[in-house]
Amino acid sequence: MTESSKITSFKVPDPAAVSEIVRRIAAEEILPRYEKLERHEINEKAAGEIVTAADIASEKRLEAELSALLPGSVVVGEEGHAADASVIEHFTRGEPVWIVDPLDGTRNFAEGRPIFAVIIALAVAGETKAGWIYDPLADDMIHGVLGEGAWDAKGRIRLASPSVDVAAMRGSVPKRPRDRLEEMGQAKGTPVPREMLRHRCCGREYMELIRSQLDFAMYGQLKAWDHAAGVLLHAEAGGHSGRAEDGGIYRPGAMQEGRYILAADEARWRELRDLLAAALA
């Protein structure tokens, strides 16, 4: 069997089995530590980031159980990459790769803010095949498989029709473009989104995007554990996304720089792309 035929015939493990693993590990390793972290359980990482005992314990168990669920697979986790950046090379090989963010929104978690999530994706040959985003506090799971839609406990999720004007939109935007957009709105009277925010938790932002609670988002530094699952699930719910520079769709791998925009449809994506380009010119 050739490598291409192996990829074509690849079957995602039972999504419910993955969901059960994520729920159980979150219940046993994350929730018991929420608002109860000891000082020694919080440590600084590179670039001013932090890691907690919950991140480490959750990733260790997710790595063991997910790789056992799919023999021959490997894991690229946020904390594993922090310890050994060479794990990113798994994306260049043929084996299935579990992409794990064991506790997205770590600083929120450490500060007792209820905005954090667990993010899991499964990729083969640089293509995301499935994704899971889980809010442990609400016991709220969104999952999906490529070509099969995005789902939660209520059923299949479909983005609402994008009927609002830009001035009525709510979106996730980094600080610099947010400041520039606000300046444009004040100085030139340009219609700009009514609310621009950052949750400091990509997983929760993607959950809101998928449910039409956020109209759009723009991200710069794309790390696979933050974005692979969310981009897939947003597309499966009917959304449109792409790089502002060329419209290219995100594929998991090493960190990617640039402006990546997600919106309800292509027309809104183009409108937001042009607005953001003008703000950052």
153-183: b or e for each residue (b if 16 or more CB lie within 10 Å)?
eeeebebeebeeebeebbbbbeeebbebbee
Identify the pLDDT of residue 185. 83
Q: 177-204 pLDDT, tens per residue?
A: 999 999 888 887 788 999 999 999 999 9
Q: 200-220 pLDDT, tens per residue?
A: 999 999 999 999 999 999 999
CA proximity to 252, closest of 280, 217, 227, 278: 227
Q: What is the set of domains in the chain, with CATH numbers?
A: 3-157 (3.30.540.10), 166-280 (3.40.190.80)
What is the rounded average pLDDT of the residues 87-114? 96
